[in-house]
Chain A
Amino acid sequence: MTRVKPMLLTAFAAALVAGGAIASAASPADTIAARQANFKKMGGAMKALKDELGGGADKAKLAAAARTLAATARLQGALFPAGTGPSSGVKTDALPAIWTQKPVFDAAAGKLVAEADKLVGIAGSGNTAAVLAQFKVVGGTCAACHRQFRAEE
Chain B
Amino acid sequence: MSTDNETVKVWDPFVRLFHWSLITLFAIAWWSGENHDMDRHRQAGYAIFALVLFRVFWGFAGGRTARFAQFLKGPGAIAAYLKTHDGETPSDGHNPLGGWSVVALLSVILAITLAGLFAVDVDGIESGPLADWVSFDQGRMASEWHEGVFKAALGLIGLHVLAIGYYQILNAQNLIGPMITGKRDRTKGEAAADVTWSPVAALIGIAVVGALTWLVMSGFKLG
Contact = CB atoms under 8 A, between A and B. Distances in A.
* A, B from the same assembly: yes
Interface residues of B, number: 15
B132 A43 contact: no
For B125, B131, B140, which residue has the most chain A Cβ atoms within 10 angstroms?
Answer: B125
Given A51-B132, A54-B132, A43 B219 contact: no
Interface string B127-153: 100011001110110000000000000
B124 A47 contact: yes
A46 interface: yes
Interface in A17-45: 39-40, 42-45
Nearest to A46: B124
Nearest to A69: B124
A146 B219 contact: no
For A39, A50, A146, which residue has the most chain B Cβ atoms within 10 angstroms?
Answer: A50
A142 B125 contact: yes
B124 A42 contact: yes
Interface string B95-122: 0000000000000000000000000101
Interface in A99-151: 139, 142-143, 146
Contacts of B139: 47
A7 B130 CA distance: 38
Nearest to A138: B125
Chain A interface bracket (under 10, 10 to 19, 20 to 34, 35 or more): 10 to 19
B132 A44 contact: no
A143 B124 CA distance: 11
B123 interface: yes
A76 to B, nearest CB: 13
A122 B124 CA distance: 20
B136 A146 contact: no
A118 to B, nearest CB: 17
Nearest to A42: B124
Contact of B136 (A47, A54, A55, A142): A47
B188 interface: no
B221 interface: yes
A43 B221 contact: no
A43 B127 contact: no
A144 B125 CA distance: 13
Contacts of B221: 55
Contacts of B127: 47, 50
B123 A54 contact: no
A146 B127 CA distance: 17
Nearest to B34: A152
Interface of B: 120, 122-125, 127, 131-132, 135-137, 139-140, 219, 221
Top-6 shortest CB links A-B: A46-B124, A43-B124, A47-B124, A51-B132, A44-B136, A139-B125
